[in-house]
Structure 1
Amino acid sequence: MFYYLLKYVLLGPLLRLVFRPRIEGLENVPATGPAIVAGNHLSFSDHFLMPAMLKRRITFLAKAEYFTGPGVKGRLTAFFFRSAGQIPVDRSGKDAGQAAIREGLGVLGKSELLGIYPEGTRSHDGRLYKGKVGVAVMALRAGVPVVPCAMIGTFEAQPPGKVIPNLHPVVIRFGKPLDFSRYAGLEHEKAILRAVTDEIMYAILSLSEQEYVDRYAAVVKAEQTAQKKEHKFPRAPLG
């Protein structure tokens, strides 16, 4: 109930007014039945813009940190995400991927739309990074189509760390559904999962026209953070 209140009364009209998003390819999103919408992830605002523009309800797997933040802001954020029907997923630990897959399959099992960011985290520099294979596992196990989606302009509108968005044009572009039924029963084959994931990422890339980096975003982020620390606090020479 709160989801539709946000969509049509509280948040949706405000997002349309501020961002004035242009929607392309909306007819590619199935009107009924389970499907995965797999998109690039450039901004915190992605969580709200795509659901606000879609006719159908979509459930995203959101990182658990959105539900456990401290203070008033943390409680409000958690309330918002829970009320909007988003599912917290703990991304730490060796079983994090399996937990996300289990939750995602539960959404698809109810013939709903599932939203996924295959990169696993927001892009810190506007580039598109290598996708994780969880999206392929869910697509093959559930036997559902994958609709590629490109968020364009949201990085400029609200880059990482910026609370109040800039006024910048935004385009939300949906591609034709990808059918992976030819790989049915092969969700345990690593090469197949990689091939399916790469096909999905290529479809997103074709829509977004971003620069592509064939590495995981989280790894690149960690390396850059370590380099900044090293530059700020250089090690003393031995001896």
Structure 2
Amino acid sequence: MWYWLFKYVLLGPILYVLGRPTIEGAEHLPTDGPAILASNHQAVVDSFYLPMRSPRRITFLAKSEYFTGAGLKGRFQKWFFSALGQVPIDRTGADAAGDALKAGLQVLADGKLLGIYPEGTRSPDGRLYKGKTGMARMALQAGVPVIPVAMIGTDKLNPIGSRLPRPGKIVIRVGPPLDFSRFNGMGGNRFVERAVTDEVMYTLMKLSGQEYVDVYAATLRNKVPAEPAPRPDAARIPDVEAS
């Protein structure tokens, strides 16, 4: 109940005035059944604007810190993110990746839409960064399509470090579903997971128009941005790592 109340009564009207969001390619969003929505990530409000324009509820995996704060602020934050349909994930545990995988697979097993940011964190400078393979692992194990989504303009409305939003224009661009059924039975293969991830990131680059950087965004925290690398190639299998 709170999800729809936020979307249509409490938060939605405010977001609409601030961002005047439009959606392109809404016909690619499935009307039923499980799927992964893989989006670039430029601002906290990405997780608000995408559900706002989706006809179906979207569940995101959120860091557990949003749900464990102390005091009145902590309780309000927990209620707020729970009401928005976000599921807490402890990213500091010994098996953080495994816990996220289980949580994501459960969301998909329930027939829901799962929202994922393959970059793992917000872009520090507006460019698109290398994707982590956890998303591919979920897609292959669950046997669901991946729908690429480009959030455009959210970094201008909600820059990193800003406390108040800056009115602007938000565009949500949805691409055709990516079918990875050709890899059936190959879930857990790191080479395949990397190839799938690169294909998704290449599609996001084309949808968003962002410059691609072949390093993880998390490695650039408090560092000088890396030089851009060539565009990702889905047919190429680069270095492999666990997500």
Question: RMSD across aligned C-alpha pairs, in angstroms?
Answer: 1.4
Query: Partner of 2:221: helix, strand, or coil?
Result: helix
Partner of 1:200: 200
Structure 1 match to 2:24: 24
Residues in 2 aligned to 1:107 and 1:122: alpha-carbon distance in whole angstroms: 23
After TM superposition, list the pairs within 5 Å mapping 1:172-187 onto structure 2. Answer: 172-187=172-187
Q: Deviations over 1:196-229 (max 9, x none)?
A: 000011111111011111011111215459xxxx
Distance 1:77 1:87 in 2: 13
CA positional deviation for 1:69? 2.8
Which residue is 2:130 aligned to? 130
Q: Please tell me whether the aligned partners of residues 67 and 74 of structure 2 are also in contact (alpha carbons under 8 angstroms).
A: yes
Q: Distance in 1 between matches of 2:98 and 2:142?
A: 15
2:150: which partner in 1?
150
What is the TM-score normalised by the length of structure 2? 0.89
CA distance in 1, matches of 2:90, 2:126: 24
Question: The residue matched to 2:102 in structure 1 has which SS?
Answer: helix
Counterparts in 2 of 1:187 and 1:50: CA distance versus 1, 3 Å: same
Cα distance in 1 for residues equivalent to 2:150 and 2:124: 16
Residues 106-132 of structure 1 deviation map (CA, whole Å, 9 limit, x = unaligned):
000011100000111111111111000
Q: In the alignment, what sits opposite 1:105?
A: 105
- Count of residues in correspondence between the two structures: 225
What residue identity is the alignment partner of 1:193? E
Q: Which residue pairs with 1:72 in the alignment? A: 72
- Which residue in 2 is equivalent to 1:49? 49
Distance 1:158 1:212, change over 3 A: same
Which 4+ residue blocks in structure 1 deviate beyond 6 angstroms?
Answer: none
Give the 3-state SS of the residue equivalent to 2:168 in structure 1: coil
TM-superposed deviation, 1:66: 1.2
Other-structure match for 2:38 = 38
Match of 1:62 in 2: 62
Q: Is the 8 A contact 2:147 2:177 kept in 1?
A: yes
* SS of residue in 2 equivalent to 1:172: strand
Of 9-18 and 150-159, deviating more is 9-18
Distance in 2 (alpha carbons) for counterparts of 1:87 and 1:222: 28
SS at 2:44 equivalent: coil
**Counterpart Cα distance in 2 of 1:207 and 1:71:** 42
Quick check: 2:18–2:166 contact (8 Å CA) kept in 1?
Answer: no
Greater helix fraction, Structure 1 or Structure 2 = 1
Name the larger-Rg structure: 1
* Distance of aligned partners of 1:78 and 1:46 in 2 relative to their CA distance in 1, 3 Å threshold: same
For the Cα contact (< 8 Å) 2:130–2:213, is it kept in 1? yes
Runs of 5+ unmatched residues, structure 2: 226-243
Structure 1 match to 2:171: 171
> CA–CA distance in 1 between the matches of 2:110 and 2:27?
22
The amino acid that maps onto 1:160 is I
Matched, 1:221 2:218: no
Paired residue for 1:231?
none
* TM-score w.r.t. length of structure 1: 0.91
**Residue 95 of structure 2 corresponds to which residue in structure 1?**
95
Deviations 1:127-173 (A, max 9, x none): 11100000000000010000000000000111111121111111011
The one-letter code sitting in structure 2 at the alignment partner of 1:192 is: V
Cα separation, partners in 2 of 1:183 and 1:222, compared to 1, 3 Å: farther
Instruction: Write the deviation string for residues 42-69 of structure 1: whole angstroms up to 9, x where unpaired.
Output: 0011111111110000100011111123
Are the equivalent residues in 1 in contact too, given 2:124–2:220 (CA < 8 A)? no
